[in-house]
Chains A and B, each alone.
Chain A
Amino acid sequence: AQSVTQLGSHVSVSEGALVLLRCNYSSSVPPYLFWYVQYPNQGLQLLLKYTTGATLVKGINGFEAEFKKSETSFHLTKPSAHMSDAAEYFCAVTGYSTLTFGKGTMLLVSP
């Protein structure tokens, strides 16, 4: 069985500040990990993914995440938040067929 836990249902940052969204996974097999973003009344957009190889993964819109097996973590970061980053972020894990999502973290960005 696989699962992900996102720490913090809401994260608030100021524009220009570092963004850190936390995700820990549980998996009995090597995991494949993803971060998706969802803007209001929209579908989910893939930000980045980790499959194998390099543990630091770069995604779209300046986001990146680091896979740390020893900590079973896959935290999402962005050096400088922009107002347009305000959205819901979902961490997800998959093995062979279907995605298992975390509960989501709402990122709030203030001017």
Chain B
Amino acid sequence: DTEVTQTPKHLVMGMTNKKSLKCEQHMGHRAMYWYKQKAKKPPELMFVYSYEKLSINESVPSRFSPECPNSSLLNLHLHALQPEDSALYLCASSQGGEGTEAFFGQGTRLTVV
């Protein structure tokens, strides 16, 4: 099983809403990632979890709050977002360590209205 599963696939939320994005992998990977991708741009790293601990936060605004409840799950909690936060949010996982590839989920298409 080389699958990373993200839910929901699409999400429309108002600027005062609170919502969560979910990501799950069962490959035994120890590193999990959140990326944000705007149209016609490469993915931009947001957060990295290694062994369930937050290891990298790329200066992401606090309206994005990651959580790693266990080694298979990764959440991204959203609150008070802005329209410019509309994007494709990608989750990925990897074995971690030198030179290992990342496996990506299908993404959540987020629209903030």
Contacts and interface: CB of A to CB of B under 8 A. Distances in A.
A49 B94 CA distance: 14
Contact of B103 (A41, A46, A102, A103): A46
Contact of A98 (B6, B42, B48): B48
A: interface residue count bin = 20 to 34
Interface in A77-111: 90, 94-99, 101-104
Interface stretch (B11-19, B59-67, B69-77, B105-113): B105-113
Contact of A34 (B6, B50, B98, B101): B101
Interface string B16-56: 00000000000000010100000011110100101000011
A101 B43 contact: yes
Nearest to A94: B99
A98 B106 CA distance: 19
Interface residues of B, number: 29
Nearest to A90: B42
Contacts of B45: 98-99
Contacts, number: 54
Interface of A: 32, 34, 36, 41-46, 49, 51, 90, 94-99, 101-104
Given A96-B97, A98-B56, A103-B41, A43 B102 contact: no
Contact of B105 (A43, A95, A97): A43
Q: Nearest 6 CB-CB pairs, A to B?
A: A32-B99, A101-B42, A43-B104, A44-B104, A43-B106, A51-B99
A32 B98 contact: yes
Contacts of B56: 97-98
B88 interface: yes
A45 B104 contact: yes
Contacts of B97: 96
